[in-house]
Amino acid sequence: MTATAARVDSRHTPRKRAGNGAAPRDVADDVGLDALAGHAGYAVRRFQIWIFQDFIKTLGEVDIRPTQYSVLTVIGANPGLSQMAVAKRLGIERARLVHLLDSLEQRKLVKRIKSKEDRRSHALHLTAQGETALAKFKRLAAEHERHVEAKIGRENRAQLLRILAGFT
């Protein structure tokens, strides 16, 4: 007689599964989500939460979050970019990028160099320390990608990247 809270008051509960007489194992296991099953946004949101948590955990030893990683990667691949260019490319506000760069600059990973051509802007570069650090970050990120493969399957991950290639 332990199924007090676990048993859903099934007076008005619509029949979702036919004849499933199994005992409820956990509270939310027999809660139907049928209406949400067909929504792409919900699935994508849940997946994105999972993938970010794994990224944060996998890169936890170096204390790098996904947004920081993307900033470092873009700067590493395109040295000398302005803050505006980086923000526009990554789809983040330039106001937000200020704080991100403050943090990364304090950690001696990037440096802002006053541009000669346009004295309003800063040319962004990785420090030497930042380059070696980014190499390590990339190895950990590759490990994270393997976690993704293990989670959804190698072929499915490839299809996902193909489907969403237009958003990068």
Partner DNA sequence: GACAATTGTTGTCGTCAACAACAATCTTTC
Partner DNA sequence: GAAAGATTGTTGTTGACGACAACAATTGTC
123 binds its own copies (CB under 8 A): yes
Q: Which of residues 77-106 bind its own copies (CB under 8 A)?
A: 77-82, 84-86, 88-89, 91
Select the residue interacting with DNA from 12, 14, 15, 23 (CB under 7 A).
23
Select the residue interacting with its own copies from 22, 36, 63, 107 (CB under 8 A).
36
Select the residue interacting with DNA from 96, 136, 146, 151 (CB under 7 A).
96
Supply angle C-alpha 148, 75, 103, rounded to 5.
85
Q: How far apart (Å, rounded) are the C-alpha atoms in residues 15 and 26?
A: 19
In the chain, the N- to C-terminal Cα span, in Å, equals 53
Question: Residue 63's binding partner, choosing from its own copies, DNA, none, with beta-carbon cut-off 5 to 8 A by kind?
Answer: none
- Using CB under 7 A as the binding criterion, the count of chain residues that bind DNA stands at 38
Select the residue interacting with DNA from 35, 37, 40, 95 (CB under 7 A).
95
Q: How far is the CB of 110 from its own copies (least distance, A)?
A: 14
Burial class (CB in 10 A: 0-12, 13-18, 19+), 157: middle
Select the residue interacting with DNA from 118, 142, 153, 154 (CB under 7 A).
118
Question: Residue 77's binding partner, choosing from its own copies, DNA, none, with beta-carbon cut-off 5 to 8 A by kind?
Answer: its own copies
Q: Which residues of the shown chain bind DNA in the complex (CB under 7 A)? A: 2, 4-5, 16-19, 21-23, 27, 49, 53, 65-68, 82-84, 87, 91-96, 98, 100-102, 112, 117-122
